[in-house]
């Protein structure tokens, strides 16, 4: 603990790093303020009550997961109710799917920084289009679907005026969120998109602790004699999940590399041995975030198509449809995100050939590329199974134990993986700044385990 505070003190003492930290914290504070600014004409208290009732019916499920990732803005109809999901969805569609299918966009992706900036600008336009569609659907949901189902009025003055104001307000909020995320990435510390989601999850901790105290605390002992045992199990389970996430996120598959010995004049060059590190979970938390963003669409579709009304009940926390869809999407995006970054490792084969490096027992050139590709495929399979297990099993266990939905959503595998993974990535960036200036990092070795 002393070493941790010492490292943070050293980080604060570096002017450049201090500015980045202050800037990042300031952006996150602005984001938290936006989570509490309501959309005009909405009864937020009544809407929050309905969300609580829906979460109790379905055991949390996808609805509570989405509300958690927006920091509660979705259930209160605030200006940031859309969250970061439209931005993520647009990025997936434009910069990955369309950039692979459309030759003109693929050419932009290969042009380097200038092409990437144009491609990213198209992603911004797509984000705004999705924000307009989502906000209009959300306004319709508040105006018609919820009153018809719960016999209550959420919108104070229904009509096209309310729809237009909601679309403008939420679309502007989405633009602000997108700008905040990009500012953190460019001028702060860490990945802006991931940090905003983490801030949303962490901001729900006080409410989750309140629910936990009400359900499993001393006051609940008379109603449930097993409450203390559930509380002990929950704490131990959270610690175990966090330890597993840290262990796997720092894991590497080290491929041995030797350098051929060369004699130039009287000097001998090469002959050393090193390794090529392949991260076990190279995609990080992105497969989870991508999977959640795509699962958002069928829920929206079920809300506005009467024939698909029963689809929403399929996405409860313990339903087979929800967990199977969630698992398949996580596996797909794990391989997809790895394939995007795989060229970095496969290009290393050409660099190794140029400098006289080789993998023992493997011929240079194409054989090395195939060898690295095979290793990366096996490592990615382990990462996919790990992500599915972390995301699905804890939620199922908590739902079976009848843990409150907000507590299960916050301390389930998905939220813990995002928070711990983003925290580790941010710590690595801070540590790299410290090591560049000859300071000790967060750990005794001076580096995060697995990076030596």
The predicted-structure confidence for 229-259, as pLDDT tens digits, reads as follows: 777 887 888 888 888 888 888 888 888 888 7
Q: DSSP secondary-structure letter at 359?
A: -
pLDDT for res 11: 73
Question: In the structure, what pLDDT confidence band is assigned to residue 132 with cuts at 50, 70 and 90?
Answer: very high
Q: Which residues contact 339 (CB under 8 A, 6 or more apart)?
A: none
- Which stretch of 5-9, 56-60, 100-104 has the lowest confidence by average pLDDT? 56-60
Whether 295 contacts 329, CB under 8 Å: yes
Closest to 415 (Cα-Cα) out of 425, 403, 406, 404 = 406
Largest CA distance in the chain: 90
Cα–Cα distance, 328 to 95 (Å, whole number):
21
Structure-model confidence comparison of residues 116 and 303, the more confident one: 116
Contacts of 401 (CB under 8 A, 6+ apart): 230, 233, 234
CA distance 401 to 317: 12
The residues near 215 (Cβ < 8 Å, ≥ 6 apart) are 227, 403, 404, 407
Residue 451: what pLDDT?
40
pLDDT digits (tens, 9 = 90+) for 391-412: 887 767 766 777 766 676 677 6
Q: End-to-end CA distance of the chain, in Å? A: 22
What are the φ/ψ torsions at residue 50 (nearest 5 degrees)? Answer: -65, -40
Kindly state the average pLDDT of the residues 85-97: 80
Give me the half-sphere count of Cα atoms (radius 13 Å) on the Cβ side of residue 449: 8
Query: What is the C-alpha to C-alpha distance for residues 234 and 403, in angstroms, rounded to an integer?
Result: 9
What percent of the chain lies above the pLDDT cut of 90? 8
450 pLDDT tier (thresholds 50, 70, 90):
very low
Partners of 279 in beta bridges: 252
Per DSSP, helices labelled H in 59-98 are 61-69, 73-76, 85-92
The model's confidence at residue 441, banded by pLDDT at 50, 70 and 90, is low
The CA distance from 141 to 167, in Å, is 13
- Report pLDDT digits (tens) over 57-73: 655 556 667 777 788 78
For residue 27, what pLDDT is reported?
Answer: 92
Q: What is residue 193's predicted lDDT score, i.e. its pLDDT?
A: 85
pLDDT of 446: 46
What gap in Å lies between CA 396 and CA 9, rounded to an integer? 41
Q: How high is the pLDDT of residue 188?
A: 87
The pLDDT value recorded for residue 356 is 74
Mean pLDDT over residues 194-205, rounded?
86
Based on its alpha-carbon atoms, the radius of gyration of the chain, rounded to whole angstroms, reads 24
Instruction: Count CB-CB contacts under 10 A for residue 225.
Output: 9
User: pLDDT band at 358, cuts 50/70/90?
Assistant: confident
Provide φ and ψ at 255, rounded to 5°. -95, 120
Mean pLDDT of 70-92: 83
pLDDT, residue 73, reads: 83
Burial of 420 (0-12, 13-18, 19+ CB in 10 A): buried
Cβ contacts of 155 within 8 Å, gap of 6 or more: 41, 42, 43, 142, 143, 147, 162
Q: Report the percentage of the chain scoring pLDDT > 70.
A: 75
CB atoms under 10 Å from CB of 247, counted, come to 13
Mean pLDDT across the chain: 77
Residue that wins the pLDDT comparison between 30 and 45: 30
Element (H, E) at 254: strand 252-259
Pairing of strands 267-269, 273-279: unpaired
Q: Is residue 150's pLDDT more than 80?
A: no
Predicted confidence at residue 142, as pLDDT, reads: 81
Do residues 200 and 410 make contact, with C-beta atoms less than 8 angstroms apart? no
- Quick: pLDDT tens for 294-353: 776 666 666 555 555 566 666 666 677 777 888 888 898 888 877 766 666 666 677 777
Domains of the chain by range and CATH? Answer: 2-436 (1.10.3370.10)
Report pLDDT for 452: 39
Mind listing the pLDDT tens digit for each residue in 181-191? 999 988 888 88
Which of helix, strand or coil describes residue 257?
strand
Lowest mean pLDDT among 151-165, 292-306, 354-368: 292-306
Grade residue 277 by pLDDT with cuts at 50, 70 and 90.
confident
Distance in angstroms (rounded) separating the CA atoms of residues 194 and 191 = 6
């Amino acid at each position: 603990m002393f070493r941790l505070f010492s490292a943070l003190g050293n980080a604060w003492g570096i002017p450049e790093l201090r500015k980045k930290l202050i800037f990042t914290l300031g952006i996150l504070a602005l984001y938290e303020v936006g989570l509490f600014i309501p959309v005009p004409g909405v009864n937020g208290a009544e809407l929050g009550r309905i969300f609580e009732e829906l979460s109790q019916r379905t055991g949390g499920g996808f609805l509570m997961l989405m509300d958690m990732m927006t920091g509660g803005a979705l259930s209160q109809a605030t200006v940031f109710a859309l969250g970061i999901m439209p931005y993520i969805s647009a990025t997936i569609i434009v910069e990955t799917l369309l950039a692979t299918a459309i030759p003109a966009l693929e050419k932009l992706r290969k042009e380097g920084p200038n092409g990437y900036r144009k491609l990213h600008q198209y992603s911004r336009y797509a984000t705004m289009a999705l924000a307009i569609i989502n906000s209009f659907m959300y306004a319709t949901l508040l105006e018609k679907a919820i009153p018809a189902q719960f016999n209550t009025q959420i919108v104070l003055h229904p009509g096209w005026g309310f729809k237009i104001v909601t679309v403008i307000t939420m679309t502007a909020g989405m633009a602000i969120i997108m700008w905040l995320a990009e500012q953190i990435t460019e001028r702060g510390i860490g990945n802006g998109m991931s940090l905003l989601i983490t801030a949303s999850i962490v901001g729900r901790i006080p409410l989750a602790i309140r629910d936990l105290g009400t359900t499993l605390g001393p006051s609940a002992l008379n109603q449930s004699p097993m409450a203390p045992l559930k509380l002990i199990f929950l704490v131990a389970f959270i610690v175990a999940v966090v330890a597993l996430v840290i262990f796997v996120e720092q894991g590497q598959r080290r491929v041995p590399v030797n350098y051929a010995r060369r004699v130039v004049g009287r000097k001998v060059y090469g002959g050393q041995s090193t390794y090529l590190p392949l991260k076990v979970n190279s995609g990080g938390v992105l497969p989870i975030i991508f999977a959640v963003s795509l699962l958002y669409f069928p829920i929206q579709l079920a809300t506005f198509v009467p024939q698909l009304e029963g689809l929403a009940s399929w996405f409860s926390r313990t339903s087979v449809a929800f967990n199977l869809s969630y698992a398949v999407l996580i596996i797909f995006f794990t391989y997809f995100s790895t394939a995007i970054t795989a060229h970095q490792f496969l290009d290393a084969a050409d660099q190794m050939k140029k400098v006289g490096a080789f993998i023992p027992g493997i011929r240079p050139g194409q054989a090395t590329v195939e060898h690295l590709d095979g290793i990366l495929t096996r490592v990615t399979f382990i990462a996919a199974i790990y992500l599915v297990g972390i995301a699905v099993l804890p939620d199922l266990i908590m739902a079976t134990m009848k843990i409150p939905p907000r507590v299960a959503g916050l301390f389930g595998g998905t939220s813990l993986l995002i928070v711990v993974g983003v925290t580790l990535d941010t710590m690595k960036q801070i540590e790299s700044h410290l090591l560049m200036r000859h300071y000790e990092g967060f750990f005794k070795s001076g580096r995060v385990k697995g990076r030596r």
